[in-house]
Structure 1
Amino acid sequence: MKRLASLSALVALILPKLAYAQAAVAQAVPASAAMPGALDRAFSNMAGAGGEPLSLSLQLLLVMGLLTILPALILMMTSFTRIIVVLAILRQALGLQQSPPNQVLIGLSLFLSLFVMAPTLEKVNANALAPYSAGQINAEQAIAAAGTEFHGFMIRQTRKTDLAMFADMAKAPKFQSSADVPFSILLPAFVTSELKTAFQIGFMLFLPFLVIDLVVSSVLMSLGMMMMSPMLVSLPFKLLLFVLVDGWALLMGSLAASFV
């Protein structure tokens, strides 16, 4: 629950101005009694080009637009992509169409992602959320501190070849250190690396189940049972093999260890 709270607080940190919509309900409250401290300073930064505050309708439009891309952005910056792709490939390798259902796979991926991202979330809480809540830093500094922690996690999981490819496409100058890589280049390189790693793990998962399919198909052909589906016969053997080797524990442990 603590990790869930940290992730929720991070979302609230990225969009600290979301609560400004409550001003439409509290217009009768004097300005001196309005939300004090760092939140006031965050609201005062939401202004137009001439320095005047944006209207409530424009702020709501901006917030709703950010909310549409925020979940995908957060998921793409964590370990979720690799985990969900591997679990989907495993289901396909077992020959199961709807078991486990998509809701179960997504839930497993989310909670395993929280486990993998726990050290990063704890650093975000220590360096960004806690100082911001105490009023020691403003919203921009808190977002920058949180971005630095996610940047460090992503750069460790990104292949240099993918990073160099997107840097060449963007015609970016040579970076002196990994900390100089901007998110505009790091994010697509990170996602590409995660997909490549997920497919490599999925290939290794497919091999033992493919051998079972080949053996069952050969036995059925030799017995002249060509009308019987090999998938129907091989499915119980696949499930038996997966259960006997404690497949779920091995898979979850291997996925978590792949991020170390």
Structure 2
Amino acid sequence: MIGSIVACGWPSFAAHAAAAPAVVAAATPGMETAQALRVVLGLTVLAVLPALVVCLTSFLRIIIVLSMLRHAIGMNETPPNTVLIGLALFLTTFTMSPVLQKLNVDAFEPFMAGKLSIEEGYGKGMAPLREFMVRQTREEDLALMVELSKAPIPQSMDEIGNIQLIPSFMLSELRAAFQIGFVIFLPFLLIDLIVSSILMALGMMMMPPTTIALPLKILMFVLVDGWSLVLKSLVASFH
């Protein structure tokens, strides 16, 4: 009995077994290719991630201001570069969190789930970044980059390519960073002038002014809670 059932069922089973590899073979190459493209794209993004962070986010302004603060105090190696970069990365995360969240929901997760193509994912991912960069970019810097690239004069922001918007954004960030850095330099410069004048009046011309000015600048910076003021001003400077 069992032998007859097996004998009767074997042809259909054999047919399904023979068809299954064909179905798998037909579906597997496309799936493997899409997965491979996602892996390659992910590795490419990781490779250029430092450049993307510098060019497309608030990191540029923050790290320049923190570096200028270190030079204004007079300590060229303290805090070390690792500390400043780490602090700048966290501040960048705070200021860019709405943009990153929107990019993740609209572009990254749908793309990794296979719901968006590469072109669609790129377009939806760049949209929140472009919106952020446009808010921070001056019209004069944007007009300069359009002129340098010899591109047609755009009639709207949608007609401006990333090749003009990104350097315009970076130029505006450099300008804003130097403005904030200049304001930071002024009180420390005043302390240097006062200390130099007092030493000259006392006839102590052989003593370097930095020997006395440096601890005074550190003391003043600590008393006014300088780190909190600088970080609050930096985060508030983004609109």
Decide: shared fold, TM above 0.5.
yes
Asked if 1:124 corresponds to 2:103, the answer is yes
TM-score by length of 2: 0.82
- Residue among 21, 38, 41 paired with 2:34: 41
Structure showing greater Rg: 2
The equivalent of 1:95 in structure 2 is 74
Contact between 1:42 and 1:139, CA under 8 Å: does it hold in 2? Answer: no
Whichever structure has more helix as a proportion of its residues is 2
Deviates more, 1:130-139 or 1:192-201: 130-139
Provide the rounded CA distance (Å) in 2 between the counterparts of 1:35 and 1:96: 59
Contact between 1:158 and 1:189, CA under 8 Å: does it hold in 2? Answer: yes
- Residue among 126, 149, 162 paired with 1:170: 149
Question: 1:102: Cα distance to partner?
Answer: 0.4
**Amino acid of the structure 2 residue aligned with 1:78:** T
**Amino acid of the structure 1 residue aligned with 2:178:** F
Aligned residues: 215
The equivalent of 1:225 in structure 2 is 204
Contact between 1:42 and 1:138, CA under 8 Å: does it hold in 2? Answer: no
**Amino acid of the structure 1 residue aligned with 2:163:** S
Question: 1:70: Cα distance to partner?
Answer: 4.2
Deviates more, 1:199-208 or 1:143-152: 143-152
The equivalent of 1:149 in structure 2 is 128
Question: 1:136: Cα distance to partner?
Answer: 2.4
Change beyond 3 A, Cα 1:68–1:122: closer
Contact between 2:62 and 2:177, CA under 8 Å: does it hold in 1? Answer: yes
Alignment identity in percent? 49
The equivalent of 1:138 in structure 2 is 117
TM-score by length of 1: 0.75
Contact between 1:95 and 1:235, CA under 8 Å: does it hold in 2? Answer: yes
Q: Which runs of 5+ in 1 are unaligned?
A: 1-29, 46-58
Q: Which runs of 5+ in 2 are unaligned?
A: 1-23
Q: Indicate the SS of the match to 1:131.
A: helix
Q: Indicate the SS of the match to 1:174.
A: coil
- Residue among 207, 211, 218 paired with 2:190: 211
**Amino acid of the structure 1 residue aligned with 2:176:** T
Provide the rounded CA distance (Å) in 1 between the counterparts of 2:170 and 2:29: 39
The equivalent of 2:237 in structure 1 is 258
RMSD, aligned α-carbons: 2.6
